[in-house]
Amino acid sequence: MMEIKGIILAGGTGSRLHPLTATVNKQLLPVYDKPAIYYPLTTLMLAGIREIMIVSTPADLTAMKTLLKDGRHFGLSLHYQTQDRPRGLPDGLIIAEKFIGGNPAAMVLGDNFFYGQGFSALLAKSAGNAETCHVFLYSVKDPSRYGIAKFDADGRMIDMIEKPEKFVSPWAITGLYFFPADAAQRAKKLKPSKRGELEITDLIRLYMGEGAVDAHKLGRGNVWFDVGTPDSLLMASNFVEVIQNRQNILIASPEEIAWRMKFIGDNDYRNLIGAMPICAYRNSLEATLTA
């Protein structure tokens, strides 16, 4: 079975979060006690993915490299590539084509946060089925604000409607995608839309036309945040604070997940914790050793 590669799209201007993002990339803003990029990073880790490319602007990659380094301390191999201007989500696959190297790829937006019962198992199952494109859907209260999945009478996804004026379904398309090995080649054949960018929906439609799309509905017990607005950034932070402090667990800690996934050993984990300054995050990690 071919190894699946991971891509985190961490560019963009973060205009919806201005002035918070005037000097800081939105993926580096805090979601409670961690940088936002920890959340998509650990999503890929939970899928068993250990080789990951982070695509961002030239101005922001230095800070990301300072934060995450080469990933070896997490048992990962992290790579970095620049995207000088937004050209659409499929452009991330084109930029990462050499890195992907003919392998299937999972791509996640750097401001997306997933959590919930059974989610890790769903990730692992999707990663193990590299012949189809996988999209992940989340039921939302106001579908007119999102890209929405349309279904036929048998419950199969047959189209995607961007910000529909009339009700289509409540199922929004999230920023997490698993693609077969030919995704970069297909992305290069796409034509820019009216807004001058390659559209992820056009790429997914190519697979849909071949009956090669699995649409996974994230049901009750799961949450999805796109932390690209002040309100969603605050809601995600509040959610993490409540769950962590009520249940005495950590959400989206790359150190803990690397240890539990056996990407690193017990001694490596203790050394990681020991190298941290005294802080609440270190205390939470130390508690996992005796839980």
In tens, the pLDDT along 45-91 reads: 999 999 999 999 998 999 999 999 999 999 999 999 999 888 999 99
What whole-number distance in Å separates Cα of residue 86 and Cα of residue 57? 9
Among 190, 191, 52, 215, smallest CA distance to 133 is for 215
Q: What is the pTM of this model?
A: 0.96
pLDDT value at residue 273: 97
pLDDT value at residue 1: 56
Among 84, 95, 136, 99, smallest CA distance to 115 is for 136
The whole domain housing 164 covers 5-252
pLDDT value at residue 14: 81
Q: What is the DSSP string of 138-159?
A: EE-S-GGGSEEEEE-TTS-EEE
Is residue 94, in this structure, part of any structural domain at all? yes
Q: What is the pLDDT of residues 273-285, one digit of tens each?
A: 999 999 999 999 9
Domain count, the chain: 1
Compute the average pLDDT of residues 246-259: 97
By CB atoms closer than 10 A (0-12, 13-18, 19+), residue 237 is buried
Is residue 285, in this structure, part of any structural domain at all? no
- Among the residue ranges 16-25, 183-192, 238-247, the one predicted with the least confidence is 16-25
Is residue 265, in this structure, part of any structural domain at all? no
Compute the average pLDDT of residues 198-221: 95
- The residue with tokens 């190894």 is 3
Is residue 273, in this structure, part of any structural domain at all? no
Q: What is the pLDDT of residues 151-209, one digit of tens each?
A: 999 989 999 999 999 999 999 999 999 999 999 999 999 999 998 999 999 999 999 99
Rounded percentage of the chain residues whose pLDDT exceeds 90: 90
pLDDT value at residue 105: 98
What whole-number distance in Å separates Cα of residue 101 and Cα of residue 247? 41
Is residue 150, in this structure, part of any structural domain at all? yes
What whole-number distance in Å separates Cα of residue 192 and Cα of residue 195? 7
Angle at CA of residue 113, ends 76 and 183, nearest 5°: 65
Is residue 205, in this structure, part of any structural domain at all? yes
What whole-number distance in Å separates Cα of residue 11 and Cα of residue 246? 34
Q: Which residues of 64-101 are buried (b: 16+ CB within 10 A; e: fewer)?
A: beeebeebebbbbebbbeebeeebbbbbbbbbbbebbe
Q: What Cα–Cα distance (Å) separates residue 119 from each residue in 110, 123, 124, 220?
A: 18, 6, 9, 11
pLDDT value at residue 11: 87
CATH (domain of 207): 3.90.550.10
Rounded percentage of the chain residues whose pLDDT exceeds 70: 100
What whole-number distance in Å separates Cα of residue 91 and Cα of residue 89? 5
pLDDT value at residue 29: 96
Compute the average pLDDT of residues 216-222: 94
More confidently predicted of 76 and 290? 76
pLDDT value at residue 180: 97
Is residue 267, in this structure, part of any structural domain at all? no
Residues whose CB is less than 8 angstroms from the CB of residue 119 and which lie 6 or more positions away in sequence, other chains included: 46, 218, 222
Is residue 270, in this structure, part of any structural domain at all? no
What tokens does 278 get?
């005294």
